[in-house]
Structure 1
Amino acid sequence: MTIALERPVGTDPTLLVTPEVADRLTRRIVADHPEISPETALRIVGQAAGFIAASGRQPGQSLAPSNLVDYGWHAFILHTVDYAQFCEQVVGRFVHHVPTAADDDQVPGGPQAAGQRTVAAITAAGYTVDPDLWPDVADCNQCYDGCTDSPNSGGKC
């Protein structure tokens, strides 16, 4: 008996980006965070790609990256052409970065619950989760206190 899976299980999310984009983002992460090795930065790029792909396919689920994965998301966003192309090709729409307040009801259950939802969503999307890069949930403080994806950015930050 043959079983066909709709999505591959455990696909390395680094494969979602071209080698050129992965290299650009890896170099950006290392430049911004010199304490991170190039090898770890590449792993961060992969997890950020998996996070963006999973959260973009499940809008409104209040998914959030870990602190380390958020470095990858921010690096990707800075490369707007690459980011927009990635979103369109992988998700089919632009995935907005929407910081939220810690007491905002957009993050039900708080950071720990958001982290669990996010890891589950990445796994459900068929991507491998690198547990060493998911010990926490990001505390973005550019405008508010957290980062999530939302299809209704409303022009925030």
Structure 2
Amino acid sequence: MSETATPLSAGIDPRTLIRPEIRSLIITTMRAQFPQVTEEHAELGVGQMAAFLTVCATAERPLSPSPEVDDYWHAFVLNTEAYMTWCTEMFGKMVHHKPGYLNPEEHGGGKVLRARAIDAIAELGFVLEPDFWPEIELAQCSQCHANCSDSPFTGK
């Protein structure tokens, strides 16, 4: 955790969901792509990804990771054998990465899906690291679409 961040909930350290040698593999993959990421930050990122995947394994509605948590998921998926083994051992099945468009009318937009993920992670008692979930900071957003990264007016 960064010096300025504090966990939003005290609880289970999600890094414990992944054995150290697999965490190291994911961190190595992640840091090869993003060399500016520190070892400490990457350790926390792997934990946030593991917590997210844990809630995905039993979710009845779609969830979405933050962009950074998704980067860690990609780093894990690139190590396909380790990813497949971990999913099978943890959940008895694969948690498939299915990027794509979901109708916001039916499922809510990305922020709604991430908020749902954050709530589910907290409900399971995992520590949430605010640095990895910027939506936590946006609770007072007015939805004015004034230069927001997901504004319909910016084409993003």
Please confirm whether the aligned pair reaches a TM-score higher than 0.5, indicating the same fold.
yes
SS at match of 1:48: helix
1:82-140 residue CA offsets vs partner (Å, 9 max, x unmatched): 11111112222110100112x63597120111111000111122321111111149x9x
Q: Which has the larger radius of gyration?
A: 2
CA distance in 2, matches of 1:106, 1:82: 36
Q: Which residue of 2 aligns with 1:144?
A: none
Q: Which residue of 2 aligns with 1:88?
A: 88
Instruction: Write 1 or 2 for the structure with the bigger share of strand.
Output: 1
Contact 1:107 1:114 in 2 (8 A): no
Q: Which residue of 2 aligns with 1:55?
A: 56
> Post-superposition shift, 1:45?
0.6
Q: Which residue of 1 aligns with 2:70?
A: 70
CA distance in 1, matches of 2:21, 2:106: 34
1:55-106 residue CA offsets vs partner (Å, 9 max, x unmatched): 1111x411111111111100110111111111112222110100112x6359
Number of aligned residue pairs: give it.
128
Gaps of 5+ in 2: 1-9, 137-148, 150-156
Matched, 1:131 2:130: yes
Gaps of 5+ in 1: 1-8, 140-157
Matched, 1:10 2:22: no
| Residues 1:21 and 1:11: Cα distance change in structure 2 (over 3 Å) | same
- Tell me the TM-score normalized by structure 2: 0.75
CA distance in 2, matches of 1:120, 1:96: 21
- Tell me the TM-score normalized by structure 1: 0.74
Q: Which residue of 2 aligns with 1:115?
A: 114
Percent identity over the alignment?
Answer: 34
What's the RMSD between the two structures over aligned residues?
Answer: 2.1
Q: 4+ residue runs of structure 1 moved beyond 4 angstroms?
A: none
CA distance in 1, matches of 2:49, 2:71: 8
Where in structure 2 are the equivalents of 1:3-42 lying within 5 Å? 10-42=11-43
| Residues 1:124 and 1:94: Cα distance change in structure 2 (over 3 Å) | same
> Post-superposition shift, 1:43?
0.8
